[in-house]
Each structure stands twice: as structure tokens, then as C-alpha cells.
Amino acid sequence: MGPDMVADLMRNVLREALLLCAPALLAVAVVSFLISVAQTLTSIQDQTIATVPRLLLTAALMLVATPWLVHHLVGYTFGLLSNFHRYLGVN
């Protein structure tokens, strides 16, 4: 396995990790922004008001998105393992 294959493999792994994490990160970022705006407008600066909705949203989103996440991860793993001979140099 040469350096170009390692770089290609790591690029694919990082792309998949970003794809799997992106929905949760985007949703939490939007909710955090909305909570920050609401806290600024009402002058309430309690940390639990900001933390609890983010935790609940992340948990709910992960529960809802679990089938898609697992399906995507299984597909990626199957593709990686079925083409693993390419990385080992065996024909």
C-alpha cells in the first residue's frame, strides 16, 4: 500500500465521517443560534436553557436518523471490504 492509497483511503474515511456527522452538527448549530438570539433578546443568561435543548435535539435527531446512518455506514463498510484487495496489492 503506497502513500497515495493511504491518502485516498483517509480522504474517503474523513468524507464519510463528515457526511454522517453533518446533519446533527447543522441542526445543533441552528438551534444554538436561535437560543442565543432568544437569550440575548430576553436577557436570560442561564446555561441550562442553552444546554438542555441542544442535548434533547441531538438525542432525538440521532434516534430518528439511526436507520439512515446505519444503512450508509454498512454500505460504506461493505464497499471498503469488498475492494480491500486493491489496498493490499493482491489481484
Q: Chunked in runs of 10, what are the mean pLDDT values of the chain (91 residues)?
A: 84 93 92 90 83 90 93 93 80 63
**pTM of the predicted structure, to 2 decimals:** 0.72
Going by C-alpha positions, the residue among 54, 64, 70 that lies closest to residue 20 is 70
* Boundaries of every domain in the chain: 3-88
Residue 36 near residue 50, CB atoms below 8 Å: yes
Predicted pLDDT at 91: 63
Predicted pLDDT at 34: 92
**16 is written with which cell numbers?**
464519510
Q: What is the mean pLDDT of the chain?
A: 88
Predicted pLDDT at 4: 84
Predicted pLDDT at 88: 77
